[in-house]
Structure 1
């Protein structure tokens, strides 16, 4: 039985790849692209939203906090759904939810309705990235996992670029409702693509494998699957890595970047948009570099993660400590460094992937993905509350970032040794099974 299981898992984890895999996987990544463009759309419209709904800084941050609260809270349920229902079905549900949320946000004329729309958007958005990770593991060999994940994140970040560039122009030219409600048409386009093109894996009809649907069936099986994924040090290290690396860039892009640059640093809205665009471009370029480094040398994971955290903290401190508005070169450097946060957060999945068998990968990925979004949600709330309490003192409010970075680094250092030892044990065990199965 053990030999059969090992053989089945190896077949599951080593699909052929090729042009068909790129084609099918690309359809799923387009869904993630649209979801990210919707997720980050408020980041370029924060001042417009405050004016439209007549809200304070903390109330404005509630939009994104609620969206991220729903997103983070859905990660484990979505991981379980992906493991049982398959990628295609979960992506279809996600598209329906985030498209409805974006359309409703464009039509909303009151704060409660707008909040409900962002919550709906967050629920749909939560179903995309884990599904895309699972799709990549079903269509590409495991050795290509780090690069495939980074490319997916890169394409998703280009959705951020669309919201930064295109939505800004649509808002200026057509106004709130046409810009937001009209952009919901992209959701209908990707829904058609998924229905027509996407399959869960090579040779499948779009449904998950039988064992994926039945694995851990029932209430107690679900709890055991979550517990087994959490018990792996690699899963927990992945979550804390994601927690610590992702949130500074996410907070800046999702909501507080443009208000900070315009109100605290005195740059024009157009210049602030250019700086956010630079951040997104740096994120996209760095993703390819990080993916190649990790695919070739797994030992680089910790160095890249901790190096990114240190660079982010240094750049953040330099901008806040500068007497008066920071010079242009420092703001450019600051945004370039924040562009490292997204690619570094993907390292969390590279810790969790080898620590869990394929049938538990969605659940483990959900746990990891909770990390950065929980940190982002916490920081968004802290900044909004501190801005209201201090009379819009961004230096004090933005200093809350350092607290979460210190917490995350401590947990990463605590778990790293155990995770690496456990990963080596799994590699040795897999090698022994392979040597038994394959005759000399």
Structure 2
């Protein structure tokens, strides 16, 4: 490989623009498995309950172990991404994910199954924040929304695989063999990460993305990151509150249903078998995946984060309330409303972007991690509360109170979006500082 010092400036620019896709590609492959693990337990509910003699609350707790770990790790992950960098952070995280997945697959009892899911949650929790850090270092400011959408698209492909394809895979190889296999793949990803990933172009003696864009170099990489100063700045920024709340409430609805209870709901209410019921969760993941890339492109094009957030939030809230009020809807109408809601869930990318763009760019990892914590607090608590609200009976009567709970979260999330700050797709932190002076 030709040394960077022997390249012309233009050749160095082109090398940055090519090599960034290798860095991004490895990390986003890891993110594929983040979603796969996140959504997987709903499909294997019957196998887990039969094997470990679990109650509905016990099953919900098993699903939530991933989210508890993920939520607890968000702020530490932001610190790690801003200090150690994405390369080491994701490498270690992938090894922990591998150990957790293998432990889960081999667990002889429910205690070790809980431990395995907890380790998986710890391991995968570092991936998304590290990707946003890589996007900040390797991609242009105007590309951030598009790249976040692409990241979500690829991640949701993992969620798609975790529905009907996973059900078929488990039927062919058993759930234990499948999760051990996922662990082995995570070890391979860790190896790729340590070999090929670099935190920023300067680590390869290449020009920064700011230099390529022809803009002033912000001291994102030139100053030592102060963890205390960074956390204080992010946590005291009132403009982080709205995207935090929106992500917490809206994520709780989607992940509770699509990731934990949705297959059971469709099976119990409509009398379908597990593989058939999982297809409706597949529709949700496909709708989200299809919309993910477009939301980033549209946002970057119209130079607005708040407008897509409000419009899609209203659409999704209306769809979910219709599902709740409608009871046992005709199956085709139920499927359409699920698709509409899942299409709207892509507005979560706007919450991440707003969180990053209202904070000091030196602490972009911490900013996204604080906002993302909200999403996984909701995802951890939501399934357990949903399970606790289930009632004795049959069909829709079992789920009525639990579905009303999700509808209330959805409406509250939409209200919070109205208070989000419009950034016009650029970092406004220094503008705010100047305005206060």
TM value normalised by structure 2: 0.86
What is residue 438 of structure 1 aligned with on the other side? Answer: none
Pair 423,193 (structure 1): closer, same or farther in 2 beyond 3 Å: closer
Residue 428 of structure 1, CA deviation:
8.0
Say which SS state the counterpart of residue 265 (structure 2) adopts.
helix
What is residue 337 of structure 2 aligned with on the other side? Answer: 334
Quick one: which of 233, 236, 245 aligns to 1:228? 233
How many residues are aligned here? 408
What is residue 79 of structure 1 aligned with on the other side? Answer: 78
Residue 166 of structure 1, CA deviation:
3.2
Contact 1:15 1:138 in 2 (8 A): no
Distance 1:350 1:165 in 2: 31
Pair 372,428 (structure 1): closer, same or farther in 2 beyond 3 Å: closer
What is residue 368 of structure 1 aligned with on the other side? Answer: 371
Contact 1:279 1:339 in 2 (8 A): yes
What is residue 135 of structure 1 aligned with on the other side? Answer: 134
Pair 166,402 (structure 1): closer, same or farther in 2 beyond 3 Å: closer
Gaps of 5+ in 1: 1-13, 217-221, 432-440
What is residue 216 of structure 2 aligned with on the other side? Answer: none
Residue 317 of structure 1, CA deviation:
2.7
Contact 1:29 1:152 in 2 (8 A): yes
Distance 1:341 1:46 in 2: 27
Residue 115 of structure 1, CA deviation:
0.6
What is residue 173 of structure 2 aligned with on the other side? Answer: 174
What is residue 190 of structure 2 aligned with on the other side? Answer: 191
Matches within 5 A, 1:17-416: 18-204=17-203, 214-216=224-226, 222-299=227-304, 301-323=305-327, 325-387=328-390, 393-414=398-419, 416=421
Contact 2:86 2:199 in 1 (8 A): yes
Deviations 1:144-178 (A, max 9, x none): 00001110111111111222233211211222321
Report which stretch shifted further, 232-241 or 173-182: 232-241
What is residue 3 of structure 1 aligned with on the other side? Answer: none
Contact 1:242 1:345 in 2 (8 A): yes
Report which stretch shifted further, 76-85 or 369-378: 369-378
Distance 2:170 2:281 in 1: 17
Distance 1:211 1:295 in 2: 25
Distance 2:355 2:295 in 1: 17
Deviations 1:99-156 (A, max 9, x none): 1111111111211111111111111111110001111111101110000111011111
TM value normalised by structure 1: 0.85
Distance 1:212 1:393 in 2: 57
Say which SS state the counterpart of residue 41 (structure 2) adopts.
helix
Distance 2:294 2:139 in 1: 19
Pair 213,390 (structure 1): closer, same or farther in 2 beyond 3 Å: farther
Contact 1:72 1:374 in 2 (8 A): yes
Pair 321,355 (structure 1): closer, same or farther in 2 beyond 3 Å: closer
Pair 47,408 (structure 1): closer, same or farther in 2 beyond 3 Å: same
Distance 1:400 1:311 in 2: 18
What is residue 4 of structure 2 aligned with on the other side? Answer: none
Pair 35,205 (structure 1): closer, same or farther in 2 beyond 3 Å: farther
Distance 1:424 1:161 in 2: 36
Contact 1:242 1:347 in 2 (8 A): no
Contact 2:16 2:201 in 1 (8 A): no
Gaps of 5+ in 2: 1-12, 206-218
